[in-house]
Each structure stands twice: as structure tokens, then as C-alpha cells.
Amino acid sequence: MELRSATKREQDKAYEKGKKRREENEKNPSNNKGPKDDGYEDMTPGQKEEYKKGYRGE
């Protein structure tokens, strides 16, 4: 049970990172930062899915 909640917390953090990146890019289009700048390549598959949802605004 504890592992599942820790995993969910990490996924929630990834979602928030994606959401924040999208909002920053909308405010400043010349920002030119993307998932790579947020450590996307080091995320677990579950975190990547949540990041994409936040980044896409789902």
C-alpha cells in the first residue's frame, strides 16, 4: 500500500511538471523548453504518461 501511494505521488509530481511546462511555454513562446529539460528521459513509464497528460492539458 505504501509503495502504491509513493508511486502515485511521483506520478502526480510528473503531471504537475508537464502542466507547468505547458503553461510556461504558453506565456512565453520563445522559452523553447520541453520535456527533455524536465528530466523526461529519466521518468518511469507511469510518470511519462502523467507528464504527457499535464503537458497536453488533459
pLDDT of residue 39: 93
Residue 41 lies in a domain: no
Residue 51 lies in a domain: yes
Nearest-angstrom CA–CA distance, 27 and 11: 25
Domain that holds residue 8: 1-23+46-58
Residue 38 lies in a domain: no
Q: Give the Cβ contact number of residue 26 at 10 Å.
A: 10
Task: Note the pTM of the prediction, 2 decimals.
Answer: 0.84
pLDDT of residue 58: 86
Residue 50 lies in a domain: yes
How many domains is the chain partitioned into structurally? 1
Residue 3 has pLDDT above 80, yes or no: no
Structural element, H or E, at residue 9: helix 2-27
Residue 5 lies in a domain: yes
